[in-house]
Amino acid sequence: MRQDPDAETRDELAAVITRAASGDAAAVADLDDRFGARLEFGTAGLRGELGAGSNRMNRVLVAQAAAGFAAYLRERAGDSTASVVIGYDGRRNSRRFALDSAELFAGAGLRAILLPRLLPTPVLAFAVRHLDADAGVMVTASHNPPNDNGYKVYLGGADSGSQIVSPVDAEIAARIQQVADAGDIGTLPRSTAYELAGEDVVEAYVSATAAVAPAPESAKGMTWVYTAMHGVGWETFARILDAAGYPRPKTVGEQLNPDAMFRTVSFPNPEEPGAMDLAFAAGRRTGADFILANDPDADRLAVAIPDEAAEGGWRRLSGNEIGLLLGARAARAAEGTPGASLACSLVSSPGLGAIAAHHGLDFHETLTGFKWISRAPGMVFGYEEALGYLVNPETVRDKDGISAAIAVLGLAAEARERDETLASLLADLGETYGHFASGQVSVRVDDLSIIGKVMLALRTLPPTRIGETPIASAEDLMEAAPGQPSGDVLRYTLADGSRVIVRPSGTEPKLKVYLDAQAASADQAKATVEALEAGVRTLLEERS
């Protein structure tokens, strides 16, 4: 509390201490939760709830992270001066955390470059490469709850602007811990001699992204809806639409501008039930052809299409459906290119492998996260089922919901020339590459230990079937062979060829189970996934 420069969190902590000193059991438990652990720095950087304490996101923790990261970068750079770009979104304290970082980086002797205003995460990832920086930091919690924030780290040079991976995360974490152990952050050198990046960085991103899919003549008649989900995507996306020649969408005005409170959604993630209800309503009012939605930091993309069978008349496409559409687009363009490959996380649809094989491309399956996907050799397209897509790897080595939106607009416009729709393009995928269906069972918990107990139960008492279907083989990726992806993941292949994968979420308090099936028809594949879902729910109840 003495070293915290933030009056709000100092007062917050003082109030908890006062209640705990008077014997308030809830306040004692609150202190234990805040200080009984330290918010862990890993391959996703930092992410957690805002508040006072070592187990929360606050100015003390961010200062320690910035100073520790600066020490790592100085050692990595040797005699040269390391450079780092800092970006931030519209969440609570994002700008404050970014300014603290810029001052601490500059104070540590680094060349610190702060982006000119709040901007999408993909712009920061782009800027690392565009400015040939040694590293980048993005202050964002992406699509997490409103009271969360985070600290995402990228490396330039040989890492090409990708997110950090092991063992770099542990090396940075060790230096952060050294700063924390040293005591008062008030003694850390600071400087206001950081640079403010020019608008030319944003203009370069706009130009590069508009080139992903310039609008054909048929785009002029498209009617569509867009929502920024209270995030930072719209201003940049609108400029790209104009540069690429697409018509402006009908926008969800209530969600168009940054709002740290996310007032119209209970959870600012387009995957969550209800998050796109306002967009669906706008789609019905305007008779839109489709809907596009970015998450709050615009690194993810959701797509919805009209569907009379769906509640409300709109169906949100799954991440796998969008990924296969964009993957087929990339594969057609790359066919015949030596070494070109498609890549996806191991929990994404095996349909991408079928697309790669059809077009004679290499295929790579990685651990979850774009820190791994972005490193796949020869990759021309990569995706993960959680609405993340990398369509322009020569420009941005991370998921990018804005460039993915431009690619989808290009697909929709080209389909329109042939009197087709995104729905008919999906049907064409099945006829060309095989019928794949995917599903997910997601269990949110309040106590993270529950997830560990379920994973342990599945390992110590392995299932022999899921529902009525026997398990043909099981893999524990904690025991993966050298050179193979390893992690806290269980993968089951069933006798009918379908697949079930179980893993803890890396960013949320959830246990996730991914279901995939291939069949002779779309209806058969869907029915197999529905049966798997029922079987998985029963299995989790038995192991909980």
pLDDT per residue as tens digits for the range 172-181 = 999 999 999 9
Two tokens, residue 338: 């030596």
Delimit the CATH 3.30.310.50 region(s) of the chain: 435-543
Domain covering 38-197: architecture? 3-Layer(aba) Sandwich (3.40)
Q: How many CB atoms lie within 10 A of CB 248?
A: 10
Q: Which of 496, 495, 492, 500 is nearest to 534 (CA)?
A: 500
Q: Which of 419, 429, 370, 416 is nearest to 396 (CA)?
A: 370
At residue 440, the pLDDT reads 93
Active site residue 142: yes
At residue 483, the pLDDT reads 61
Position of tokens 């209530």? 254
Low-confidence ranges of the chain (pLDDT < 70): 480-486, 507
Rounded Cα gap, residues 102 and 110, in angstroms: 9
Position of tokens 């519209």? 90
Judging by beta carbons within 10 Å of its beta carbon (0-12, 13-18, 19+), is residue 177 exposed, middle or buried? middle
At residue 509, the pLDDT reads 83
At residue 484, the pLDDT reads 64
Rounded Cα gap, residues 492 and 494, in angstroms: 6
Q: Which of 506, 515, 508 is nearest to 533 (CA)?
A: 515
Domain 213-433: homologous superfamily in CATH:
Alpha-D-Glucose-1,6-Bisphosphate, subunit A, domain 3 (3.40.120.10)
Helix (H) or strand (E) holding 332: helix 319-334
> Of 142, 162, 318, 403, which is the active-site residue?
142
Q: How many CB atoms lie within 10 A of CB 30?
A: 18
Chain-centre distance for alpha carbon 170: 21
At residue 543, the pLDDT reads 87
Rounded Cα gap, residues 319 and 198, in angstroms: 35
What's the pTM value of the predicted model, to 2 decimals? 0.94
Q: Which of 60, 283, 91, 90 is nearest to 183 (CA)?
A: 60
- Buried b or exposed e, range 115-136, using 16+ CB within 10 angstroms: beebbbbbbbbbbbbbbebbbb
Rounded Cα gap, residues 18 and 27, in angstroms: 9
Rounded Cα gap, residues 372 and 159, in angstroms: 11
At residue 92, the pLDDT reads 97
Q: Read off the amino acid at residue 75.
A: E
Chain-centre distance for alpha carbon 459: 28
Delimit the CATH 3.40.120.10 region(s) of the chain: 38-197, 213-433
Q: What is the number of alpha carbons within 13 Å of residue 407 lying toward its C-beta?
A: 24
Q: How many CB atoms lie within 10 A of CB 193?
A: 11
Two tokens, residue 149: 């924030």
Percent of the chain with pLDDT over 70: 99
Two tokens, residue 167: 């063992």
Peptide bond into 377 cis (omega under 30): no
Top-level class of domain 435-543: alpha beta
Q: Are 527 and 495 in contact (CB under 8 A)?
A: no
CA angle 51-57-60, nearest 5°? Answer: 95
Alpha carbon separation from 252 to 228, 316, 377, 410, 497 (Å, rounded): 8, 16, 39, 22, 42
Q: Which of 373, 368, 367, 374 is nearest to 395 (CA)?
A: 374
Two tokens, residue 419: 């009197």
Rounded Cα gap, residues 133 and 86, in angstroms: 11
Position of tokens 């796998």? 320
